[in-house]
Structure 1
Amino acid sequence: MEKTSEHQNLLAQMRHVADGLGKTLAPFCEVVLHDLTQPEHAILAIHNNLSGREVGAPATELGLARAADPAFEQVIANYPNTFPDGRLAKSTSIGIKDSEGQYIAALCLNVDLTVFRSLNTMLTQFGSVDTAAAVNETMVLSGADAIHRRIDQFAARLGTTPRALKGDARKALMRELKESGLSDVRRAMDIVAAYLNVSRATVYNDAR
């Protein structure tokens, strides 16, 4: 396929997209930009190289299929893949079309699953406990610590911070503290006011 000025402009812009994604997703995700107008030398850019391929390498079977069929699915997300050395990968392929609806490029993301599976195994091992151990201890929070923890959890559910809570959210928080019994903790209102950085009068008003 002959490259037009439109194709060259699209490919130039996609180089920047690939570069940005590569920097953002480093080092666990390989980002590859394919020029489907030149399938024998398709790879234009490769970031976080996990597959050992080089710029100028040919298109994959998926790339060839997409280049040959404008009706080919444009986004194929999270499909299983394998790196040349056998490592398992999760891949996403995004086709880029020109103004006439022809595929001219593909942006591919290949995530190395090996490190995440190893991390999951380590976290599982780290989080395991010996239920047959002779010692059984509890570290239940009480007082101010318990109130702080509940406020932090409440704010996190709203995607904000305790001191950023506004009127309606504070009222909902006070209802939750009351329902959990934490509003009965000694000096609870003072603790809440200090943690939210508001006055005691504000907290009492929110608790009504």
Structure 2
Amino acid sequence: MKTRTPEQRQLLDQIKQIADGLGQTLAPFCEVVVHDLLEPGQSILAIHNNLSGRAVGEPTTELGQARITDPDYPQIIANYPNQFADGRQAKSTSVGIKDSNGRYIAALCMNVDLTLFRSLQMAMGQFVQTAVEGPQESLDPAGTDALRARIDTFAARLATTPRALKTEDRRALMHELKASGLLEVRRAMETVAAHLGVSRASVYSYAR
């Protein structure tokens, strides 16, 4: 084993603690690995939520070797596609750790198993699908879409958003909605209040 400076030993100890915390937080979907790049032949110092089947004492990866040979190699490589030995797809992030001399001494790697998430994604996609053909129905009171659209148009003319309208602008809006007959829509005041992000009492006061 190579001799390490006190600084390097402290950094490695701290990284192992960080990896332990991340492993507990991201269990069981994310494997967290600490590599000692000063010992590339047996670089794995710690592995949490073991998804890859590797063990402490196994060698570093190609990415680790790249950091060892090139101090200018990117320190953070995030969310790159990866694959476990059994073919499962993964998303990985690798963070290189340098000492005060700018030398890579360690890497903290996270490998997320995408299998479950892709299954959930497919299930959710199927769940939210609706039939192309069928009756057209809305559970929203008739006219509320037109009411919201009119509010959006009013706010756009002022280069702002409905929730950012000033008090005087809200009063002008209510007068415009009343003149157009849109305040006759069922539950109009509730719809306006929700779209402006204010109480119904405020909306009634703007309409006076």
CA distance in 1, matches of 2:87, 2:66: 23
1:187/1:62 Cα in 2 relative to 1: closer, same or farther (>3 Å)?
closer
Instruction: Compute the displacement of 1:186 (Å).
Output: 4.7
CA distance in 1, matches of 2:207, 2:36: 62
Counterparts of 1:1-208 in structure 2 under 5 Å? Answer: 1-132=2-133, 135-136=134-135, 138-142=137-141, 168=164, 183-186=183-186, 188-189=188-189, 198=199, 200=201, 202-205=202-205
Structure 2, unaligned stretches of length 5 or more? 149-162
1:53 maps to a residue whose letter is R
Q: Percent identity among equivalent residues? A: 54
Q: How many residues in Structure 1 have an aligned counterpart in Structure 2? A: 184
- Secondary structure (helix, strand or coil) at the match of 1:90 reads strand
Question: 2:189 touches 2:200 (CA, 8 Å); kept in 1?
Answer: no
Instruction: Compute the displacement of 1:46 (Å).
Output: 1.3
Instruction: Compute the displacement of 1:189 (Å).
Output: 3.9
Instruction: Compute the displacement of 1:7 (Å).
Output: 0.7
Instruction: Compute the displacement of 1:136 (Å).
Output: 1.8
Q: TM-score, normalised by structure 1?
A: 0.70
Any idea what the Cα deviations from partners look like across 1:161-193, whole Å, max 9, x if unmatched? Answer: xxxxxx8468689969x59x8754456447877
- Secondary structure (helix, strand or coil) at the match of 1:65 reads helix
Instruction: Compute the displacement of 1:36 (Å).
Output: 0.9
Structure 1, unaligned stretches of length 5 or more? 151-166
Q: TM-score, normalised by structure 2?
A: 0.70
1:113/1:193 Cα in 2 relative to 1: closer, same or farther (>3 Å)?
closer
RMSD, aligned α-carbons? 3.6
Tell me whether 34-43 or 98-107 shows the greater mean CA deviation: 34-43
CA distance in 2, matches of 1:76, 1:104: 16
Instruction: Compute the displacement of 1:70 (Å).
Output: 1.3
Question: 1:170 touches 1:206 (CA, 8 Å); kept in 2?
Answer: no
Instruction: Kindly name which structure, 1 or 2, has the bigger radius of gyration based on alpha carbons.
Output: 2
1:137/1:60 Cα in 2 relative to 1: closer, same or farther (>3 Å)?
same
Q: Which residue of 1 aligns with 2:151?
A: none
Instruction: Compute the displacement of 1:6 (Å).
Output: 0.4
1:65/1:130 Cα in 2 relative to 1: closer, same or farther (>3 Å)?
same
1:24 maps to a residue whose letter is T
Tell me whether 22-31 or 81-90 shows the greater mean CA deviation: 22-31
1:33/1:173 Cα in 2 relative to 1: closer, same or farther (>3 Å)?
farther
